[in-house]
Amino acid sequence: MAAHFALLIDPAASDDARDDFAATFTVLDPSAPALSISELSTQRGDGVFESIGVVHAHPQEVGAHLERLAHSALLCDLPAPHLEQWRQAVARAAAACGAGESVIKLILSRGVEHGPAPTAWVTAAVAADNSVARAHGVRVVTLDRGIDAGAADRAPWLLLGAKTLSYAVNMAALREAHRRGADDAVFVSSDGVVLEAPTASVVLRLGDRFVTPAVASGILHGTTQISLFEHLAVQGHRTAYETVPVRTLQQADAAWLLSSVRLAAPITAVDGVALPVDRELTASVNDYLLSPRD
């Protein structure tokens, strides 16, 4: 859905002497021209972002998203975002959300070319209806991400752990998945290790254990996956970060794509081969993910 609320943030005015950052915000008409053609976000995908799920005007896991925004900014040599300023901007955007599910996006761009400071803004929109994906699941295809599992450590300039605005490959992977008759993709390394989906984390159930690919492989640390693992641990389940060969995904007892807005979508097939779906567990996981979380 198109954004119904947008707030420009002035990162240059984020001094610690301030308690209330309202004076550093400007409400925008989300459909009106707001950005210069010299914006480096638009010219080079040069910036970082977050998407926060919102349920009945409650933004979920804001702290984890802000931490990841700061981590992405660090990897991209962007000025550190002032977290309290962003927290207040998220609260403003959440207050503009109604009942039901919404999505708040945070964007921190390197700013205008040769400009003095980053450009930053927050938007709110009604979320797409994800009930079908949650209830009936998604068919995925595995797609080679080109890199090997060691690339992230070896080559930090590849920004593999940063959620950057340079998302063209993620979008191309989704189109390729659709071309192959699937709903989504799972990236695998050139040496056959499961990484992540273009816009989601992968979680598997292997017997009585819940496993997600190790973050050292250069994938994003999923905020929803972290939240789910905490929930599973409280319920007495074992969770682990591991190197996951593609074969392990194909033979999992169940698997999900986890993301902030679609939440838990059970994987029903991998490359055309059916995977078992645990409907009861999926429903209970989504009930948890739809409950207010901080």
Structure-token pair, residue 131: 């009930």
Tokens of 94: 């959440």
Pick the stretch among 58-66, 90-98, 172-180, 278-286 that binds its own copies (CB under 8 A): 172-180
Sign of the alpha-carbon torsion through 202, 280, 262, 180:
positive
Q: Decide if residue 80 touches its own copies (CB under 8 A).
A: no
Site size with its own copies, rule: CB under 8 A = 61
Task: Pick one of 4, 10, 18, 44: the residue that binds its own copies (CB under 8 A).
Answer: 44
Closest CA to 73 of 84, 82, 62, 61: 82
For residue 129, state whether it binds its own copies (rule: CB under 8 A). Answer: no
26 binds its own copies (CB under 8 A): no
**At which residue do the structure tokens 């008759």 appear?**
181
Measure the CA–CA gap between 25 and 29, rounded to whole angstroms: 13
**CA 33 from centre of chain:** 26
Is residue 159 part of the contact set for its own copies (CB under 8 A)?
Answer: yes
SS3 139: strand
Out of 154, 238, 247, 279, the only residue in the binding site for its own copies (CB under 8 A) is 154
Stretch that binds its own copies, among 14-22, 88-96, 137-145, 263-271 (CB under 8 A): 137-145
* Contact between 136 and its own copies per CB under 8 A: no
The one-letter code for the residue type at 236 is: G
Q: Residue 206 or residue 219: which is nearer to its own copies going by CB?
A: 219
Which residues have CB under 8 Å from 161's CB, separation 6+? 71, 72, 75, 152, 215, 218, 219, 220, 221
Minimal distance in Å, beta carbon 40 to its own copies?
A: 8
Stretch that binds its own copies, among 44-52, 205-213, 233-241, 247-255 (CB under 8 A): 44-52
Cβ atoms 159, 75 nearer than 8 A: yes
Query: According to CB under 8 A, which one of 9, 14, 21, 28 is a site residue for its own copies?
Result: 28
In whole angstroms, how large is the CA radius of gyration of the chain? Answer: 19
Evaluate whether 230 touches 258 at the Cβ level (below 8 Å). Answer: no
- Of 154, 164, 91, 132, nearest in space to 265 by CA: 132
Give the residue with the Cβ less far from its own copies, 185 or 264.
185
Q: Out of 67, 84, 176, 242, which residue is the one contacting its own copies (CB under 8 A)?
A: 176
Contact between 172 and its own copies by CB under 8 A: the answer reads: yes
Nearer to its own copies, 7 or 263 (CB): 7
Q: Which residues bind its own copies (CB under 8 A)?
A: 1-3, 6, 28, 30-39, 41-47, 49, 76-77, 105, 107, 109, 112-114, 121, 123, 143-148, 151, 154-160, 162, 164-173, 175-176, 190
